[in-house]
Structure 1
Amino acid sequence: MTNWKLPWEGGCRCGRVRLRVTAPPLVTMACHCTGCQRMSSSAYSLSAAIPSAGFEVTKGEPVRGGLHGDEVHHFFCGHCMTWMFTRVPGMDFFVNVRPTMLDDTSWYRPFIETYTKEKLPWATTPATYSYETVPAFEDYEQLMKEYAEATQAFLG
């Protein structure tokens, strides 16, 4: 893909933790689950699945927060407590970055939305695909392919 204008820089609200993205997203999402609603203090959370090799923390030391189980690891700034990114153990090929942490968010649009069965009745997104929970694991390859095609058309 072209015209992504990488790398992207970003950081938490207070600026003590900074990050860099050097690879385009595999797919973008909005999650309506009640856990994301509570962690983001909003109707849904936004994320961009960035290939792990294209993501790095360049300043500061994020801390684990949110749930402390084995399924997901949420990372925050230890000072301002901004939720910055999520890693899923066993799925180390990507990092779910909160795109609102990036200095430039003009490119962002959720491609899929998940957990619509828990969404607030008035919450809408421009997502192309909606799922009551999450897509089947085997569907992600096709979704990533379609996302790449759609963003190529958008970016030119």
Structure 2
Amino acid sequence: MMLPISGGCACGKVRYDCSEKPIVQLICHCRDCQHASGAAFAATIFVPADRLEYKIDTELHFYDVQAESGRTLRRNSCGECGSPISAHWPDLPGVVLLAVGGLDDQSVFEPTHELWVSRAQAWHPFLPHTIKLEAGPTDDVVRDPLRAYFAARKS
């Protein structure tokens, strides 16, 4: 994977570079992700917040939503064109969830899991190689890889 991972919005007023490989990569079929992406699912990579640098030439629009897990998720989008940029959990500030649709090179996306398949649209096919979870992620999908990543950085 070539670093940095770069991306931005449709109008180009929001750009970003991440100097680290994604920690977690997944597809989420929950209704909130469907609404936020405007599609059948959201494709997301989790990156360390301190390795992500934004270049912003407009206002970002932020909004909080309560996810199906019950956790608050803060989403942001370009204030000019409305493209989804990223999201984060306020209680986990060290991680940013980037929308794969904004990546310059989407071929870096290699999802391992599909979440909330119980909410997936019947007409949408699943990827054959992903692990499917009926609801939200178990610790081994998100929390454990995040803990391992940050523990390795401290040592």
What TM bracket, shorter-length normalisation? 0.7 to 0.9
Residue 20 of structure 1, CA deviation: 0.9
Indicate the residue corresponding to 1:27 in structure 2: 24
Is the 1:20–1:56 contact (alpha carbons within 8 Å) kept by the matching residues of 2?
A: yes
TM-score, normalising length from structure 1?
Answer: 0.80
**Please, which of 2, 6, 11 is the counterpart of residue 5 of structure 1?**
2
One-letter identity of the residue aligned with 2:45: A
- Taking a change above 3 Å as real, the CA distance of residues 79 and 66 of structure 1, as seen in their structure-2 partners, is farther
Is the 1:115–1:134 contact (alpha carbons within 8 Å) kept by the matching residues of 2?
A: yes
Indicate the residue corresponding to 1:36 in structure 2: 33
Is the 1:77–1:84 contact (alpha carbons within 8 Å) kept by the matching residues of 2?
A: yes
Indicate the residue corresponding to 1:115 in structure 2: 116
Indicate the residue corresponding to 2:65 in structure 1: 67
Instruction: Check if 1:50 corresponds to 2:51.
Output: no
Alignment of 1:142-153 (within 5 A): none
Q: Percent identity?
A: 25
1:8-60 deviation digits (Å, cap 9, x = unpaired): 22110011111111110011111101111122111101100011122121223
Deviating runs (4+, > 3 A) in structure 1?
65-70, 138-145
One-letter identity of the residue aligned with 1:135: P
Alpha-carbon distance between aligned partners in 2 of 1:117 and 1:19, rounded to the nearest angstrom: 33
Instruction: Check if 1:82 corresponds to 2:80.
Output: no
**Please, which of 132, 135, 140 is the counterpart of residue 134 of structure 2?**
132
TM-score, normalising length from structure 2?
Answer: 0.81
Aligned pairs, number: 142
Aligned-partner SS, 1:18: strand
- Taking a change above 3 Å as real, the CA distance of residues 121 and 144 of structure 1, as seen in their structure-2 partners, is farther
Alpha-carbon distance between aligned partners in 1 of 2:8 and 2:42, rounded to the nearest angstrom: 17
Please provide the CA RMSD for this pair. 2.3
Alpha-carbon distance between aligned partners in 2 of 1:30 and 1:109, rounded to the nearest angstrom: 10
The more displaced of 22-31 and 66-75 is: 66-75
Residue 100 of structure 1, CA deviation: 1.7
- Taking a change above 3 Å as real, the CA distance of residues 142 and 39 of structure 1, as seen in their structure-2 partners, is closer
Instruction: Check if 1:98 corresponds to 2:95.
Output: no
One-letter identity of the residue aligned with 1:103: D
The more displaced of 134-143 and 101-110 is: 134-143
Aligned-partner SS, 1:106: helix
Is the 1:73–1:87 contact (alpha carbons within 8 Å) kept by the matching residues of 2?
A: yes
One-letter identity of the residue aligned with 1:27: V
Is the 2:113–2:141 contact (alpha carbons within 8 Å) kept by the matching residues of 1?
A: no
One-letter identity of the residue aligned with 2:2: K
1:102-149 deviation digits (Å, cap 9, x = unpaired): 11112213211111111001223325211111122355355679xxxx
Alpha-carbon distance between aligned partners in 1 of 2:103 and 2:122, rounded to the nearest angstrom: 28
